[in-house]
Amino acid sequence: MAGPDLETLLEELEALSPHFRSALDPYGTLTVFLEGGFGGDTLLFWLPWEEGARALREASALPFRGRIVLALAPQAGDAAPLGHALATLRPRYLALLGEGRGLTRGFAGFKEVAEGEERLRVPLTDPRPPIVEEVVAPTGLVYREVRLYPAWESPPLDSARPEGAPHLGAAALAAGALPYGVGRGKLGEGLRALLGGLGLWEGER
């Protein structure tokens, strides 16, 4: 799916601004700030731009402590835009939108290599170098993405499966944030479980 262009992103920012504190970063990531009760930490929720409306609807309906920052990313699978968001926002936790349902807390790692005109996803132990490419963000920013995504693991949470999480968690650990995967199936239930496990839930148990 083609990502949004800059005009579309600016229109979205203008539409959100009267209702939520929001911003657009140099990579074209649209951030929306949801403020909860006093005393909690910041959770950055990183997800594809096209999932933004549903995620905003689900997250804004939940009672929580601290702050949830929705990061709607045109290049949600790339580490460079996420690294910028982590460095700028400095969250305590990172939620990565994944497949299926429920929570995950680990990922085995992979890299992408070139074989002729094809791209292959291979284990990190493969001796071939990863693909390195230049990506143009909707803002016109050109960045370098190395298609190598290390293995990662976060501490256990109730009901969180140890494997099958999205691939970008290592970037969060390097920035001092704890990553977890949240399945897009029954997203509201997954967010509630994550907030509860992290001590950020403020509703009835």
**Which pLDDT belongs to residue 52?**
87
Whole-angstrom distance, CA of residue 28 vs CA of residue 116: 32
Whole-angstrom distance, CA of residue 137 vs CA of residue 143: 8
Strands 178-185 and 93-101, bridge-based pairing:
parallel
pTM of the model: 0.92
Q: Where are the alpha helices (DSSP H) in 61-179?
A: 79-89, 169-174
**Which pLDDT belongs to residue 159?**
87
pLDDT tens, the chain, 205 aa long:
456 777 777 787 777 777 888 899 999 999 999 999 988 899 999 999 888 888 998 998 999 999 999 999 999 999 999 999 999 999 999 999 999 999 999 999 999 999 999 999 999 999 999 999 999 999 999 999 999 999 999 999 988 999 999 999 999 999 999 999 999 999 999 999 999 999 999 876 5
**Which pLDDT belongs to residue 16?**
76
Amino acid at 55: A
**Which pLDDT belongs to residue 5?**
74
**Which pLDDT belongs to residue 205?**
55
User: Tokens 């992103």 sit at which residue?
Assistant: 9
Q: Sheet containing 118-122: give its strands across.
A: 118-122, 110-115, 148-149
Domains by residue range for the chain, with CATH: 6-108+151-197 (3.40.630.10)
Whole-angstrom distance, CA of residue 58 vs CA of residue 189: 9
From residue 53, alpha-carbon distances to 12, 47, 49, 87, 130 in Å are: 10, 11, 9, 25, 34
Using an 8 Å Cβ cutoff, are 22 and 16 in contact?
yes
DSSP 2-63: PPP-HHHHHHHHHHHTTTSEEEE-TT--EEEEEE-EEEEEEEEEEEEGGGHHHHHHHHHTS-
